[in-house]
A and B are shown apart, each in its own frame.
Chain A
Amino acid sequence: MNNSNLLHWSFDYNYGAQNPQFAQELIETLRGYNPKVGARDIQTAQTITHIYNVLPNYWCGYNRGGNTETLSIGRVIIQRSKHDNLWHYSVKYENTTSGENLQMQFCCSDEDYRPLRDNWSVDARNSANDEYSQVACAGYLTSDSEVRLRINGAEIAAGTVDASVKLTCNWALFDVIPTLARTIQASGDGIDIAVLEDLEQLRRKSRLGFLESTQTPIPLEGYYLYGVGLLPSYWWLDAHGNIAIASTFFETLVLREKTGDSL
């Protein structure tokens, strides 16, 4: 692993946090996982779990309480298993700055784009000392490709998916990008995809394209995603088929652990 602090600009936020250093934390986190566990053939696995460390991109101030031991402000656990030709996802997102923790359940067809299927759910819980403590959201896609959400029993429309694109969840992109990597690279301008962010916000048409490669801190291939209502995010794929780094606008997810129970 290359210890250089010269990280790619898309995930170089070292200046914003002098102590602990962003680069050091990122590199240390990546050291923690064994990339070969689970191998890249996730098609044969029963359950694959990726755990990501959440680092704040801007200012030490977004680290709860100015903790100087670690920069981390949370973690993401993405667990998926394959049954009956469907991928079943369970995603846990914890953020100690917002205080909100999300538990998301959804399933996708066993296709490259991982299209969303059937019903999904989001259980949001607030750990901050406020009146809001919990809200439950259930969603489904109608036959007319309209996204419907039920929040505490009230049902609302969340937009209609364009017929020309497939709808997936942003958390399934951790599998979509490795699977479609070569297709995306070959496409030149990238491919279009609809994203249901955190299973609630529909980004109707987003562009997924190849950015470039880097060797720091490990060999990585970069991809970008942006669209209406969606700031560019950058997804970095390692040589073993894992998204090792995903830098959204405000946070950088760094792979810290991977398990695969079938291997």
Chain B
Amino acid sequence: MNERPNILFINTDQHSWDAISAYGNPYLRTPNIDELHRNGTSFRRSFCTDPVCAAARSSWATGLYTSETGVPFNGGYVHPEIPDLGQLLNAGGYKAFHCGKWHVPGRNVRKSFRALYYGQRDIGAGGAAYYDSASTHAVADFLTNYDRDDPFYLQIGFVDPHDVCEYLHNHEEKHIPNPLEQGIISEDDLPPLPENFDYDERETVLHRVCRRVDDALIHAAILKGIRGWDERHWRYLRWNYYRFIEKVDAEIGRVLALLRETSLHHNTLIIFSADHGEACGSHQMFQKFTLYEESVRVPFIVACLGEDIPVEKDRFDETHFVSGVDLFPTVCDYAGIDVPERVQGLSVRPLTEGRDAPWRDYAYIESNYWGRAIVTDRYKYVTEYKPKAVEDFQPPGPDAEQLGLAQLFDRHDDPGETENLTQDTAYDEVIETCREKLFAQESRLHRQQIVHPSPKRVISNWGDRLRGYWRHNE
């Protein structure tokens, strides 16, 4: 391997960990992501830091958790003093390029990176149908013209399958007939309902207020629009979701083919991941924003299509908990750049090369500012902080007194997360262990007060609703 390889970070948006045909999903075809798996290591225990675009992406950009970055939901702003990956790579002698979706509010991608393509109307949350093909063209132009000796870092942010959000928005205000009755599709074409379609209603207050109640804080209009959905509508949602993934897989295919054709594949490390997943009917839920597996667990593949970079190929890593914060130190490791002291993540490079490395034994995830989860080998513990009586805009934790409700799932016996075990005293010790991990992790964070007025407004408004709920129910 050359001392400093090219690094290509391909990311999709809202792509659940198991929506890949090489992983055994029979309801879609992803030959190109499959090729990445055959040429690399797939980390099966990979989790986003926060199941929403801007928040998760702020972790990619900084190597920090979202209560540190200033982006605890889509409306946040990255604290200005935090260095981002583009700045670091450029300072370290790499040419850092960006193409496609960025969605890290508070950080100008055109200043941190050289932008190959970012849209006439800057790419925001969605719009794959407009942007993804143009992104591929931009990358094609880049790869076929790159004749420099110095290595590049290129991140390609494809928007799909995020357009499934627009599919759902389409149901807000109008009735769309059942596609089977319309003759558009046959019953046999539709994937089945997920096994965890039914769920345990003992969820956290945060989850219910954000996603379940009629006037939910997030996407209440969609919730209202799909109230009357029958089983086939849910299955048709899944069918559509998989088509979006096939679309983006085809775009990835063109990029990989051009990488081979230009012979850049020999010395190019490829990292493939997604910012967060998609519920897609599990727990009768849609989109992300929840701490359930489908929403927080994402693909993470490290690959090389050539032989110059040592990467264990065609291998599943079922052991190590990988997080969105690990992208930053992994890229820095391959680039030979020192990682800033505050970065929380770990480089997966030794794992990719088949070497042992000290590693965490859990994943830590945040959601909607107050939500928290710890995923261990056996259990997932989900909890929430109650909003403070007087909001100080300091992201909460660690604070046992302020914890609200919780969920505990046995990942071995109940992988679909359908039975909340918190009320069974036999699990008190498990819960205590998970809480210890949670608080230990949070005590290592450099949480900073949110100062930007826009996210402060969201925290105030959401906090009011949550406080109202707690007042009436305690």
Partners in one complex: yes
- Evaluate contact between B126 and A58: CB separation under 8 angstroms: yes
Interface of A is mostly: mixed
Min Cβ gap B74→A in Å is 14
Q: Interface centre among B116, B141, B254, by most A CB within 10 Å? A: B141
Measured in the bound complex, the distance between the Cα atoms of B179 and A198 in whole Å is 26
- Evaluate contact between B183 and A62: CB separation under 8 angstroms: no
**Among the listed A59, A62, A132, which residue makes an inter-chain contact with B117, where contact means beta carbons less than 8 Å apart?**
A132
- Evaluate contact between B130 and A97: CB separation under 8 angstroms: yes
Chain A residues, CB < 8 A from B196:
none
Q: Is B262 an interface residue (CB 8 A)?
A: yes
Which residues between 205 and 246 of chain A lie within 8 Å of chain B, taking CB atoms?
209-212, 224, 226, 228-232
- Evaluate contact between B141 and A249: CB separation under 8 angstroms: no
Instruction: Choose the segment among A35-43, A146-154, A255-263 that binds chain B (4+ C-beta atoms closer than 8 Å).
Output: A146-154
- Evaluate contact between A124 and B129: CB separation under 8 angstroms: no
- Evaluate contact between A226 and B184: CB separation under 8 angstroms: yes
What 0/1 readout, one digit per residue, does chain B (282-299) give for beta carbons within 8 Å of chain A? 000000000000000000
Report if A16-B119 is in contact (Cβ < 8 Å); known contacts: A226-B185, A231-B243, A250-B127. no
- Evaluate contact between B141 and A128: CB separation under 8 angstroms: no
Measured in the bound complex, the distance between the Cα atoms of B98 and A131 in whole Å is 10
Chain A residues, CB < 8 A from B124:
61
- Evaluate contact between A64 and B246: CB separation under 8 angstroms: no
Measured in the bound complex, the distance between the Cα atoms of B168 and A59 in whole Å is 13
Min Cβ gap B29→A in Å is 6
- Evaluate contact between A151 and B130: CB separation under 8 angstroms: no
- Evaluate contact between A57 and B141: CB separation under 8 angstroms: no
- Evaluate contact between B250 and A212: CB separation under 8 angstroms: no
- Evaluate contact between B169 and A16: CB separation under 8 angstroms: yes
Min Cβ gap A99→B in Å is 3
Report if A229-B166 is in contact (Cβ < 8 Å); known contacts: A124-B137, A128-B119, A130-B117. no
Q: Is A34 an interface residue (CB 8 A)?
A: no
Chain B residues, CB < 8 A from A14:
173
**Chain A, residue nearest B30 (CB):** A229
Measured in the bound complex, the distance between the Cα atoms of B116 and A149 in whole Å is 22
Min Cβ gap B75→A in Å is 15
Measured in the bound complex, the distance between the Cα atoms of B30 and A229 in whole Å is 9
Measured in the bound complex, the distance between the Cα atoms of B179 and A120 in whole Å is 35
Measured in the bound complex, the distance between the Cα atoms of B134 and A15 in whole Å is 28
**Chain B, residue nearest A99 (CB):** B120
Measured in the bound complex, the distance between the Cα atoms of B317 and A133 in whole Å is 40
**Among the listed A12, A57, A131, which residue makes an inter-chain contact with B115, where contact means beta carbons less than 8 Å apart?**
A131
List 13 additional contacts besides A132-B137, A229-B243, A231-B243; criterion CB under 8 Å.
Answer: A62-B121, A130-B118, A130-B138, A131-B138, A131-B142, A132-B116, A132-B138, A135-B138, A151-B258, A157-B257, A209-B183, A211-B183, A231-B244
Residue contacts A-B, CB under 8 angstroms, 24 given? A9-B176, A13-B170, A14-B173, A58-B126, A98-B120, A99-B119, A99-B120, A126-B117, A130-B138, A132-B99, A132-B117, A135-B140, A151-B140, A151-B144, A152-B141, A152-B145, A156-B257, A157-B257, A198-B133, A228-B243, A228-B246, A229-B243, A248-B129, A250-B166
| Interfacial residues, chain B to chain A (CB-CB below 8 A) | 29, 97, 99, 114-121, 124, 126-131, 133-134, 137-138, 140-145, 163, 166-167, 169-170, 172-177, 179, 182-186, 240, 243-244, 246-247, 249-250, 254, 257-258, 260-262
